[in-house]
Structures are given as C-alpha cells and as structure tokens.
Structure 1
Amino acid sequence: MPKNFLISAYETPADAQADAEIEPPPPDRESLRILVIGSRRGVTGTIQNLHRLRFAEVREWSPLMPAPNPGEVMSILTRYILADS
C-alpha cells in the first residue's frame, strides 16, 4: 500500500466507517472518501475487485447502506492522505 494512504491511527477501519460523524483527520492528513453506489451485486463485486488489486481490505468498507435511488446500495471507504503543505 502506498505510504501516503494511511488508516487513522486512533480508530480501526470498521470503527471509522461505522461512525455517523467522521472525526477530523490528524493535522498532517486530509480525509479522502471513496463512495461506491449501485446494485448490491455491483457494489460487493467492486469492493472485492479492489481488494484483489490490493487497494483496500473488504473490512475497511462501510456496511452496505440504502442509496438514494430505489434498489441501489452504497458503501464508503475513508482514507487519510498526507496533506500538501
């Protein structure tokens, strides 16, 4: 994993995704959120493909949640990247 993508040191990936309010990132980091929206099969397949590509562990994604459009779900991944100075 590139070293500029780090999971917050003060929470586990599951905790970071489960919280409705996201805590501010450490001072030298900014949060980056990746959102996947689509059918249940499409979203889970994309998460699994990203895992195979070593982009993110499956457990780092939020549980599937209803999306604004009927029949769709969404999942979010939060990463912390080095902030540009």
Structure 2
Amino acid sequence: MMPQIQKSAQPKLQQYLGNADFHLNTRNQSPEHQLPHREPIKHILIGSTQVVTSTIHHLHIVGYASVGDWSPLLPTANSDEVMSILIRQILM
C-alpha cells in the first residue's frame, strides 16, 4: 500500500517529477484533464566558490534540488567568481 500524499503537497511534487513517461489516453479528455506541458527554467548562481557552494547545499537542504543536479563550478570572466547552472522542467 502506498502512503498518501497530502493534497497540498501534490502540485509541488508533480512540478519536479523527472521525465516520467505517462501513457494516458487524452484524446477523449477535455483540456483541463490533459497533462500540462513542461517548460525549462534555468537557474544560474554566480559568486565566490564559498557562496555558490553554500547556496547549492542550502537548496538541497530545503528540498529544491540535489547537489548533483547542478553543473560543476565553472570559472567566469572575473577571477574571484565561479558559476553553476541548474536546468529544471516545470509543469505549466
């Protein structure tokens, strides 16, 4: 038996589902019953190594993104800065 998810948590969880392959017959369903489409959102963190790493870990702690979801730290044109990128697919 699967545990039930509180109704208020479902939309948030559904936003961040991976590329799940849903096999649903939507031909006879009205538009409000069809699966919403996904759009990419790109997050870019730019700052010192310490602040970017700290922010990535904070976002992991609050459950937004795993540390491994972010790109490796990449150098920027400024010698004291790095950046990391996260691309997510958000349900619309």
TM-score band, normalised by shorter chain: 0.5 to 0.7
1:43–1:32 distance in 2 versus 1, CA, 3 Å: same
Q: Which residue of 2 aligns with 1:35?
A: 44
Q: Would you tell me which structure has more strand in proportion to its own residues?
A: 1
Tell me the matched-pair count.
67
**Deviating runs (4+, > 3 A) in structure 1?**
6-10
Q: Which residue of 2 aligns with 1:69?
A: 78
Aligned to 1:79: 88
Identity of aligned residues (%): 45
| Matched letter for residue 76 of structure 1 | I
Listed one character per residue, the Cα deviations across residues 41-78 of structure 1 (whole Å, up to 9, x for unaligned) are: 11001100111111110000000001232210000111
TM-score of the pair, normalised by structure 2: 0.63
Partner residue in 1 for 2:5: none
Select between 67-76 and 38-47 the one with higher mean Cα deviation: 67-76
Q: How far apart in 1 are the matches of 2:17 and 2:88?
A: 6
Q: CA RMSD in A?
A: 2.1
| SS at structure 1 position matched to 2:77 | coil
Structure 1: gaps of 5 or more residues? 11-27
By percentage of residues, which structure has more helix?
2
TM-score w.r.t. structure 1 length? 0.68
Structure showing greater Rg: 2
